[in-house]
């Protein structure tokens, strides 16, 4: 990327994000589920410790020039974006697993039901039940 005078804003933020990654691991970022990374970003963007997360060491807030503050704030927002994307991937995976398990349950339920009714009708009683069929039309 060359020296910082030739870098645009996005490159400067990306470079700062790379620096942060050498200090804090991804699993460390994943602990901050209460918006801490965004709060830390707001602290730098507004040059004000009032936004600094309560569960972060206040000595870690090191504002300097407005340019550096914006680089650090932008990099913290990138970290938050990446964390949310990982969390979303996790939710999507869990949702896929849940859908597959529910589909298996539905097949199981279907196979345990009475097979007397015509297509489109369903009986809530078990396969081979005695007495009257409880079939009703499914819409």
CA–CA dist 121, 139 (Å, integer): 9
Stretch that binds Zn ion, among 21-29, 31-39, 94-102, 114-122 (CB under 5 A): 114-122
Contacts of 45 (CB under 8 A, 6+ apart): 69, 70, 73
Residues 6+ away with beta carbon under 8 Å from 133 = 114, 116, 117, 123, 125
Interaction between residue 122 and Zn ion (CB under 5 A): no
* Choice between 59 and 132, CB closer to Zn ion: 132
What mask, x for binding Zn ion by CB under 5 A, covers residues 67 to 106? ----------------------------------------
Residues forming contacts to Zn ion in the complex (CB under 5 A) are 114, 116, 123, 125, 133
């Amino acid at each position: 990327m060359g020296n910082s005078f030739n870098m645009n804003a996005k490159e400067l933020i990306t470079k700062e994000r790379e620096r942060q990654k050498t200090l804090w691991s991804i699993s460390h970022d994943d602990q901050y589920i209460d918006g801490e990374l965004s709060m830390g970003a707001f602290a730098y963007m507004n040059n004000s410790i009032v936004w600094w997360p309560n569960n972060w060491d206040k000595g870690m807030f090191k504002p300097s020039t407005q340019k550096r503050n914006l680089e650090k704030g932008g990099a913290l927002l990138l970290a938050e974006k990446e964390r949310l994307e990982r969390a979303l991937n996790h939710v999507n995976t869990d949702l896929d697993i849940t859908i597959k398990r529910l589909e298996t349950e539905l097949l199981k339920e279907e196979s345990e039901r009475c097979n007397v009714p015509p297509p489109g009708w369903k009986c809530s009683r078990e396969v081979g039940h005695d007495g009257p069929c409880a079939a009703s039309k499914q819409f």
